[in-house]
Amino acid sequence: MYQTTIKKSVELVGIGLHKGSPVRLRLEPLEENSGIVFYRSDVDVSIPLVPQNVVDTKMATVIGKDGYVISTIEHMLSAVYAYGIDNLRVIVDADEVPVMDGSSASYCMLLDEAGTQELSVPKKVMRIKKDVLVQEGEKYVRLSPSVDLKYDFTIKFPHPVIQNQEYVLEFTKENYKNEISRARTFGFLHEVQYLRSKGLALGGSLENAIVLDEKKVLNPEGLRFPDEFVRHKILDAIGDMSLIGMNFIGNYEALAGSHDLNHKLTLELLKDPENYEVIELVGEKTKELEKAYA
């Protein structure tokens, strides 16, 4: 199995969640061993996708360099990771990635349009060798060894529409597209009002998020899945875990996980080489993983 990139450049324009301004995003192919590299065309700054470049995790995953940032990268990265794309240049002309409809479905369609191509170097993946846990009170995120890849997420919200939800994704590209990619981000009306008072979430609307008041969902079309909330948390986690720089083989488990805990998990994983091994996918051992990204 070989490293991949996209076959052709593609682009879209969408609204940025926080500024509410149009943002142009363009994806371009990159050669092998390049990884994922972001580029701010408005200020001529490249930001490689590595955990050390994460500068904020409060409302979204934000990377930065030399004082310039790119926010809300996790939805697009979730799709890129699910498609098994190793090398990619992501160009934006502002400080955030377009939110589109609040899910990653638009990015899946963009990647379908771009197509994928194999390069000449074997694909590298990270095999989790030991349990890695980050816990804060009741909340935790964990990676554990496994022969496949599973995301098991539980959320608890004291809201009549959400309450306790758990979802387990047995990861394949098709399962991701069908079960996860359409799940939208969500927020509460009082939070949106507060954020707007601070000059944030200016682009947020019922077109790109599920919004709840104290009792119900305000979106007239309702939910796409009864458990759309926890499915979106898995979407976020897949995007956040792409910061380790390659696909991994192992299980991810979370109780009330967040962007912040996911970032801490990537740092905890990478700080001890005993936690993992990087393997090149050559010969027979690639067959199962090839199915996952077919």
Question: Which range marks the domain in which residue 177 is found?
Answer: 124-292
Catalytic residue among 18, 232, 259, 263: 259
| pTM of the predicted model as reported, rounded to 2 decimal places | 0.94
In whole angstroms, what is the distance from residue 235 CA to residue 103 CA? 8
Q: Which of 122, 146, 165 is the last residue of a domain?
A: 122
The answer on 35 and 134 residing in a single domain is no
Q: Which residues contact 247 (CB under 8 A, 6 or more apart)?
A: 81, 84, 123, 125, 126, 149, 289
What is the pLDDT tens value at each position of the chain, 294 positions in all?
Answer: 899 999 999 999 999 988 888 999 999 999 999 999 999 999 999 999 999 999 999 888 999 999 999 999 999 999 999 999 999 999 999 999 999 999 999 999 999 999 999 999 999 999 999 999 999 999 999 999 998 899 999 999 999 999 999 999 999 999 999 999 999 999 888 887 777 777 767 788 889 999 999 999 999 999 999 999 999 999 999 999 999 999 999 999 999 999 999 999 999 999 999 999 999 988 766 666 776 676
The answer on 99 and 47 residing in a single domain is yes
Element (H, E) at 36: strand 36-40
Encoded tokens for 127: 């095999």
The answer on 190 and 106 residing in a single domain is no
The answer on 279 and 150 residing in a single domain is yes
The answer on 172 and 240 residing in a single domain is yes
**159 in catalytic set:** no
Long-range contacts of 163-171 (CB under 8 A, 24+ apart): 165/227, 165/229, 165/230, 166/230, 167/227, 167/230, 167/231, 167/234, 169/234, 171/82, 171/292
CATH of the domain at 62: 3.30.230.20
CATH of the domain at 280: 3.30.1700.10
The answer on 288 and 172 residing in a single domain is yes
Tally the domains of the chain. 2
Q: Which of 122, 138, 170 is the last residue of a domain?
A: 122
Mapped onto helix, strand or coil, the DSSP state of residue 220 is coil
The answer on 262 and 212 residing in a single domain is yes
The answer on 158 and 258 residing in a single domain is yes
The answer on 154 and 271 residing in a single domain is yes
The answer on 116 and 237 residing in a single domain is no
Q: Which of 101, 122, 143 is the last residue of a domain?
A: 122
88: how many CB neighbours lie within 10 A of its CB? 24
Q: What angle do CA 143, 138, 151 make, to 5 degrees?
A: 30
Encoded tokens for 172: 């394949």
The answer on 41 and 167 residing in a single domain is no
The answer on 109 and 146 residing in a single domain is no
